[in-house]
């Protein structure tokens, strides 16, 4: 039984890590796409191409990866009995924050597609740092398990 649990754990962990990488890649790319989109002339063919690219990134990579991160993460925590661990609670807080950031990015993309440009390119560039900082904390919590 222990061998089955260890094998399952390794597959769940591998799936979780793979989809975290895909999700993070998308979270790094999308705000950059938004910067380029905002720099394109309104109503231009270039703007139309950016809207298409953003939609594809969200629908093909970002949202499916987000879902799989949660599925594998919940399965992993359940299989290993991590639900009472303090480090997991802290990690989940940051993952919820990244999920909210993901949702905000989706809503911002919809505004851009409608021709609204509420943020400057500089602010979008700064927001591009959010996932990097969050993932650094998440990795420390998951690997070091400080509490």
**pLDDT for residue 1:** 60
Q: Say if residues 35 and 142 touch (Cβ distance below 8 Å).
A: no
Q: Tell me the pLDDT band of 13, cut-offs 50, 70 and 90.
A: very high
Cα R_g (the chain), whole angstroms: 18
pLDDT digits (tens, 9 = 90+) for 52-95: 999 999 999 999 999 999 999 999 999 899 999 999 999 999 99
**In angstroms, rounded to a whole number, what is the distance separating the alpha carbons of residues 103 and 63?**
9
Mean pLDDT confidence for 35-39: 94
Q: Residue ranges for the binding site? A: 16, 91
Asked if pLDDT for residue 2 goes beyond 90, the answer is no
Distant-in-sequence, close-in-space partners of 99: CB < 8 Å, separation ≥ 6: 66, 70
Where residue 6 falls among pLDDT bands split at 50, 70, 90?
confident
Q: What is the DSSP letter of 41?
A: P
Domain that holds residue 97: 2-144
Q: Give the residue ranges of DSSP H helices in 40-147.
A: 45-56, 63-80, 86-113, 121-127, 130-144
First to last CA, the chain: 28
Q: What are the CA-CA distances from residue 71 to residues 42, 100, 136, 141 (Å)? A: 39, 17, 21, 19
Residue numbering of the annotated binding site for heme: 16, 91
Distance CA 67, CA 139 (A): 19
Q: How many domains does the chain have?
A: 1
Average pLDDT of the chain to the nearest whole number: 95
């Amino acid at each position: 039984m222990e061998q089955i649990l260890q094998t399952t754990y390794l597959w769940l962990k591998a799936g979780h890590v793979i989809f975290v990488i895909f999700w993070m890649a998308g979270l790094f790319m999308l705000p950059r796409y938004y910067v380029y989109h905002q720099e394109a002339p309104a109503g231009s063919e270039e703007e139309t191409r950016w809207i298409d690219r953003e939609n594809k990134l969200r629908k093909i990579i970002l949202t499916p990866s987000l879902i799989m991160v949660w599925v594998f993460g919940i399965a992993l925590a359940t299989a290993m009995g991590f639900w009472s661990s303090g480090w997991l609670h802290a990690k989940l807080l940051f993952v919820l924050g990244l999920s909210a950031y993901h949702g905000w990015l989706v809503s911002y993309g919809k505004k851009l597609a409608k021709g609204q440009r509420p943020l400057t390119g500089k602010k979008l560039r700064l927001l591009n740092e959010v996932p990097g900082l969050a993932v650094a904390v998440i990795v420390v919590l998951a690997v070091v398990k400080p509490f």
